[in-house]
Structure 1
C-alpha cells in the first residue's frame, strides 16, 4: 500500500481506447433485473475490455451500488480506497466493494490492459467478502488469471449479443463462476510475496535440486506462466536465471575456499555433466572454473 496518489481528475480518461469493448446496461433495465428472481442476486450492470489504456482512470467521490472487479492482464495501475492506495500489477485483480468511494488509474509508463465488470445484487457483498477483498486489501492474486480472462471474454460476448432477460441471466451465471473462481483461488499481495520468498529460500537451501517452473508453481497453487511472471516481478529475473545465479555464487565460494575437483563442485550443485557446468560457468564469468580458481583475487 502507498500513499494516495496525486491525480488530476480532469486528466483521467474514462473510455474511448483503441480496440476497447464496453457495454453499459440502461439503468431502467438494471432496476427491472434487480427486481427479478435470480438476477436480483447478482447482475452484471457494466463490463468492458480496455487494451493498453493509457491515461485511463476514474475518481468516484460518491459511492456506487456496484462492486468493481478489474482483471489486469498486462501492464500496471493502481486503485485507492478510504484505506489508501494500492498497486495493481500484471496478473492481479482489484476488487472494490460497493457503497464506498474509490478511485483507480493506469500507470503512466506501463498502462494496464484490463477486463472489468460492475456487479450489483443482494449476494454481491457476501461474494466480495468471500474473496478476501477489503478496503484495506483490495488487490488479489488469482491462481489462474487466464481462466478469469476467458470468463470475462465470454461474459462480454454474451452481453454484446443482446440484453434480453435470458441473456442477462446467462451473464449472471458467468459472473457467479468468475467470482467463485476468485474465492477459491485468491491470495493477497502479502500472501503471494511471502510464498515467493519461501520458494526463493527453498532454492537457496537446496542448490543440488533442479525443480522445473511447473513444479515450483504447483507448490503454491499457481499456473506456471503466472508464477513465472510474479517471480520475475518480485526478484527482477526469471526463475531459471535466479537458480543459475544461486548455483554460480555457491560454485565461486567452493572454488575459492576448497580444492575439490570441478566435477565434485558440479555434482554438489546438481550438474551431472561437469562439462555442461563449465560451459554455464564460463558463459556467466567469461572464464572456465579452473581458470577462475587460479586467478589472483586479492
Structure 2
C-alpha cells in the first residue's frame, strides 16, 4: 500500500468532475465526502453525494460529478497503489465501489490524519501508509457488515445501527440506569417494539444484555481493584447486594465473594442467540 497525491478540500463554486479526469485515472482514489451535496455518475449508475458517502475509485471506471451550488462538497481524496505480487489488485478482489460509511467521524478523522502527515516536511511515509491501510481495512469491514445486514430481512440497517450504538454505550457504562422504557423512548419506539428490534438484532432481550455486561464488568472490578462486593454492586447500579450476588452466581456459577478470593468460576454466559433470558 503506497499513498500518492492526497488532499482535503471544500470544492470551489462551479466545480465539477468531468470525463477527462476519470479517463486519466491510473491509480486508486479513495474519495470521501464530509460535507455538502451532489451527484455522481458511475459506470453502473448514478448516486447521491452527501456526508458519509465514500467511493473507492479505480482505473477504467466512470466518475463524473457535480455539486449543489448552495451546498458545496467537502471531499478528502487519497490516491494510492495497492499491489499483489507486483501487480495491481484486480477489481474482483476489491470491496464494493461505493460505501455509505456509518462512522463518518472515524473515517474523516483518519483520512484527515493521513493528509496531515503526508503534507509534513519531510512526509511521514511509513505512518501514512499504515493509516491508509487501516482505513481501507475498515472500509472493507464496513462494506461486508452492510452486505450481511442487507441479507437479514428481520432487521433494517437503521435498526441495527441503533442497537449497535446502544450496546456500545451499555458496555462502556453498564452501571447506568438502563431501563427498557428509557432506552425505548430514546430510540423512538414503544417498549414492545423496541424489545422485538433489540432481540432480532442480538438474540437476547435488552434486560438480559445489561445483566451480562454488568456481570462481565463486575468480574473485572472484583479481581483488579480493591472494591468489595457491596461497592461493586453499588457501582454497577444494584440497590441490593443480595440481588447482585444472585445474578452473579446465576451467570458464573459462583458467588462474587468467592470470585474475589480467587476461586475459579465460569465466564458469564454469552448474551447471544440461544442464551437463557435470566
**TM-score, normalized by length of structure 1?**
0.46
**TM-score, normalized by length of structure 2?**
0.49
